[in-house]
Every structure is written in structure tokens, then in C-alpha cells.
């Protein structure tokens, strides 16, 4: 059997890519090292927010083949690597999964194949790390096989900007490599943007998320001094956002979370320091500010309890919405971890409620969960994420005061915004 495309890594990036390719009429192979993931997909089950179980069953019915067998990669015309790159102990990307995937591709590589790396990493990875491993067997990139980088731009939970409608950046090691990759993605997305080389494509991903990271830090720090000056930061942002040019709206929150914003800028900072010998000060300052926000939230809780004549120690604090963004079940790098740690250090008795992610384990210690919001459940409730299904009436009954870090609840005597 032959395949138009093989996708390595069937998580939040790889599975939507495989789905769009299947919808577009391509014969798609999906490779994952986790047998449970593959078995679940074959049975029509999903572990990815943006692809439902019904959609997985439709993919399989249309010919999508999930597997753990890397030898099948030889049967694919194109291979896209979508494996995770978490932070290493040194602060750069942990490329162990990329290296394992590259070696699997190299073992099955044949003339004419296209290989694309989508995993986020520092500039130069495609050309200096992936390319040499692919060429060990004698096939030459640009002559015998093609190699490119195309950064993933998945935004979990975003139904407006889908994979197909989001422009795809592509940078190949040669012009022929770029053309092959652009032709592939041209079948899957509405617009392909050609970068000068893999380095520019790699850098574009880091710039996108560093931009967001820095601007989130700006509004988070502004929120802190606005509170001290008795200025409503949420109204400030609302008013500023009416300017039709020169301003993009960012909102404060309890910290940053997810697969990109807390991680990707570190890759760039790491690369600058390792290759040029000096720090990327904007990134380091933004990290300092955003990482301090969970502690700031804990101090605001402490202030609210003081106003009730209560100490934090022994008080019941309810964390509401523990995922990293609204209406998804993903807890990767969620600020809820930092908020829970800070409140535990102050002696608070924690409980949490999130119907999408009913368990929260912080440093190996689970936080007691509430399946539903009960009257009088806490002395203070903290809204970290406002899922659309949140019962606001039940929330108000659950605690005498609510700290809303999402800025979505209507301000009232009982509700205080960050």
C-alpha cells in the first residue's frame, strides 16, 4: 500500500494535520510511538480537543491508517514530523523526540521523498540537525530527497482560524525542496507563504510567540500597578482597543500556559545566548513578569481574605477553570499549577472545579475536586479560566467573594477583577 502523506506524532498538531489531509483526499498514514494512542484512534477514540471521536471514525473510514510501525514510512511520498519539543534542562528545546523521528525516517528513506519538520525549535535545527541524519545513508537533500521546515500554527479550541484557513509558512533547504513542500501544503491550506530558507521559517514561529509573550507581560505588569492606582485595567484595554491602527488588544491573566507561549520564547533566548553570547533581555524580562503572576494572584486572594477578617492559613480557596485556556481540556503549563503552589505555601485549603479537566495534580499531590459548585463551598473562589459552560449563579453561591482573573464576569460587590 502507498500513502501520499505520513504524519509522525498524532497529538494536537499531527492529528488535525492528518484529518485535513484525509479530508483533502490524500491517503494518510499516522505514526505514533504510543500504542495506546494508536489503538484508541483505530477504535475511533480521540485524545485531542480539536478532533472529535466522530471525526476520527470518519478519518479511519476514509482510509486513515494509524500505526506504531516506522517501516511503513517507506511507503509514503511525504513525511511530516509533528513531535513535541519540551524545554530541556539547559533552557533550549529537548530534541530527543525529533531525533528519534528523524532516525526513523532515515531508516526508511527512499529517493523522491519529501520530509518536513513542523516541531517548534531554534533556527538552524532543520539544516544542522535533521539534514545530516537524513543524509547518513547516502541520499542527498535537494537532489535525491527534499527537506523543509513548516511551523505549526495550531490554536486549540479556535474554530474560526482552522488549519485550512491559517496561512502555512514553508522554507526548504533548496528551491526544489521549497516547491515540493509548498505543493504538499497547497493541497491542505488556502494560502502558502514561502520563506527564504528553513531558518527564516523556524524564526518566524519563535517571533510570533515571543511577540505575544512580551505583550502579555506588558499588560500583566500594567494590571498590577493599575490596581494600586485604582484604575480599571479592563476598561483601559477596552478603550485602547477601539483605536483602528497601531494597537492590538492583550488581556491580563494569572500567567501564561499552553504548548507555545511559556516555552517557545525560551528557545529563542537560548539560541541567542548560545550562538551570540548575550541575553535576549525582552524575553527574560517577560518571563520574569509572567512567571510572577500566579504569586500575585495568591497575594490578591490573601488581601480579599484579610478584608473578611480571615487568615489565608486554613481558609478554603476554590480554583475554577484549571486549563490553560477556555473551553479546552488541556492543562499543559497551566497557571493553575503556580497559583495552587503559592496558595498551598500560604496554608490555604484548596479545592478545584473544572468540568473539562476534573483532576488537578500539583507536584504529585492532587487538589480535591468538586464535580459541581456547591453553596458555601469556599471562602474565596478564583476564576482562572471562564469556560462557556460555567454556571455563574452557582459560582456566586459557592463563595462570598470571587476573584475573576479572566475579566469576563460582571463586576459586582461580590466579584473582584484581577
Domains of the chain: 3-196 (3.40.50.720), 292-417 (3.40.50.720)
Q: Give me the helix-helix angle, 53-61 and 14-23, nearest 10°.
A: 50
Q: Is the pLDDT of residue 103 over 80?
A: yes
Q: How many helical (H) and strand (E) elements, i.e. helices and strands, does the chain have?
A: 13, 15
Task: For the chain, give the percent of residues with pLDDT over 90.
Answer: 88
Residue numbers annotated as active site: 260
Q: What are phi and psi of 81, to 5 degrees?
A: -100, 120
For residue 270, what pLDDT band results from cuts at 50, 70 and 90?
confident
- Name every residue whose Cβ is closer than 8 Å to that of residue 98 and which is 6 or more positions away in sequence: 81, 83, 85, 117, 119, 121, 125, 129, 130
Average pLDDT over residues 190-199: 98
pLDDT tens-digit series, residues 314-341: 999 999 999 999 999 999 999 999 999 9
Model confidence pLDDT, tens digit, residues 58-89: 999 999 999 999 999 999 999 999 999 998 88
**Averaged pLDDT for residues 391-398:** 95
Mean pLDDT of 213-236: 97
pLDDT per residue as tens digits for the range 5-51: 999 999 999 999 999 999 999 999 999 999 999 999 999 999 898 89
| Averaged pLDDT for residues 119-142 | 96
Contact in structure between 39 and 64 (CB atoms under 8 Å)? no
- pLDDT averaged over every residue in the chain: 95
Q: How far apart are CA 409 and CA 415, in angstroms?
A: 7
- Compute the distance between CA of residue 253 and CA of residue 251 in angstroms, rounded to an integer: 7
Mean pLDDT confidence for 363-377:
94
What does each C-alpha distance from 47 to 66, 135, 221 come to in angstroms?
14, 35, 35
pLDDT at 262 over 90: no
Please write the tens of the pLDDT for every residue from 151-171: 999 888 888 889 999 999 999
Compute CA distances 342 → 68, 113, 224, 331, whole Å: 41, 51, 17, 18
pLDDT for residue 316:
97
- Examine the pLDDT at 268 and tell me if it is beyond 90: no
Mean local confidence (pLDDT), 372-395: 95
Give the C-alpha separation, 95 to 98, whole Å: 5
pTM over 0.85: yes
Residue 27 pLDDT: 97
Going by pLDDT thresholds of 50, 70 and 90, the confidence category of residue 266 is confident
Amino acid at each position: 500500500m502507498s500513502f501520499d502523506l505520513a504524519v509522525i506524532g498524532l497529538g494536537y498538531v499531527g492529528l488535525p494535520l492528518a484529518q485535513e489531509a484525509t479530508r483533502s483526499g490524500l491517503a494518510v498514514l499516522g505514526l505514533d510511538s504510543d500504542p495506546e494512542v494508536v489503538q484508541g484512534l483505530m477504535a475511533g477514540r480521540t485524545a485531542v480537543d480539536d478532533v472529535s471521536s466522530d471525526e476520527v471514525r470518519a478519518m479511519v473510514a476514509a482510509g486513515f491508517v494509524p500505526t506504531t510501525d516506522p517501516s511503513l514510512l517507506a511507503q509514503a511520498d511525504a513525511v511530516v514530523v509533528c513531535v513535541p519539543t519540551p524545554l530541556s534542562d539547559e533552557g533550549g528545546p529537548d530534541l530527543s523526540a525529533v531525533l528519534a523521528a528523524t532516525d526513523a525516517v532515515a531508516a526508511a528513506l527512499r529517493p523522491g521523498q519529501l520530509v518536513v519538520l513542523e516541531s517548534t525549535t531554534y533556527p538552524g535545527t532543520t539544516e544542522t540537525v535533521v539534514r545530516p541524519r537524513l543524509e547518513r545513508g547516502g541520499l542527498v537533500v535537494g537532489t535525491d530527497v527534499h527537506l523543509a521546515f513548516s511551523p505549526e500554527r495550531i490554536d486549540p479550541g479556535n474554530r474560526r482560524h482552522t488549519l485550512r484557513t491559517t496561512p502555512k509558512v514553508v522554507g526548504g533547504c533548496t528551491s526544489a525542496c521549497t516547491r515540493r513542500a509548498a505543493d504538499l501544503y497547497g493541497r491542505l491550506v488556502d494560502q502558502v507563504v514561502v520563506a527564504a530558507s528553513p531558518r527564516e521559517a523556524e524564526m518566524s514561529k519563535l517571533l510570533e510567540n515571543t511577540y505575544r509573550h512580551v505583550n502579555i507581560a506588558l499588560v500583566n505588569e500594567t494590571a498590577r500597578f493599575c490596581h494600586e492606582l485604582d484604575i480599571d485595567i479592563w476598561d483601559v484595554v477596552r478603550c485602547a482597543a477601539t483605536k483602528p491602527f497601531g494597537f492590538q488588544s492583550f488581556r491580563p491573566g494569572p500567567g501564561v500556559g499552553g504548548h507555545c507561549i511559556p516555552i517557545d520564547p525560551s528557545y529563542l533566548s537560548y539560541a541567542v545566548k548560545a550562538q551570540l553570547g548575550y541575553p535576549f533581555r525582552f524575553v527574560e524580562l517577560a518571563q520574569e513578569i509572567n512567571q510572577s503572576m500566579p504569586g500575585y494572584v495568591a497575594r490578591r486572594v490573601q488581601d480579599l481574605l484579610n478584608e473578611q477578617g480571615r487568615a489565608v492559613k486554613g481558609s478554603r480557596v476554590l480554583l475554577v477553570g484549571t486549563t490553560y485556556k477556555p473551553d479546552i481540556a488541556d492543562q499543559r503549563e497551566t497557571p493553575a499549577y503556580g497559583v495552587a503552589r503559592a496558595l498551598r505555601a500560604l496554608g490555604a485549603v484548596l479545592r478545584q472545579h473544572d468540568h473539562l479537566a476534573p483532576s488537578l495534580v500539583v507536584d504529585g499531590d492532587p487538589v480535591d475536586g468538586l464535580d459541581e459548585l456547591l453553596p458555601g463551598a469556599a471562602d474565596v473562589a478564583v476564576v482562572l479560566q471562564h469556560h462557556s459552560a460555567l454556571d455563574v449563579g452557582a459560582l456566586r453561591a459557592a463563595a462570598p467573594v470571587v476573584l475573576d482573573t479572566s475579566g469576563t464576569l460582571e463586576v459586582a460587590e461580590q466579584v473582584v477583577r484581577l
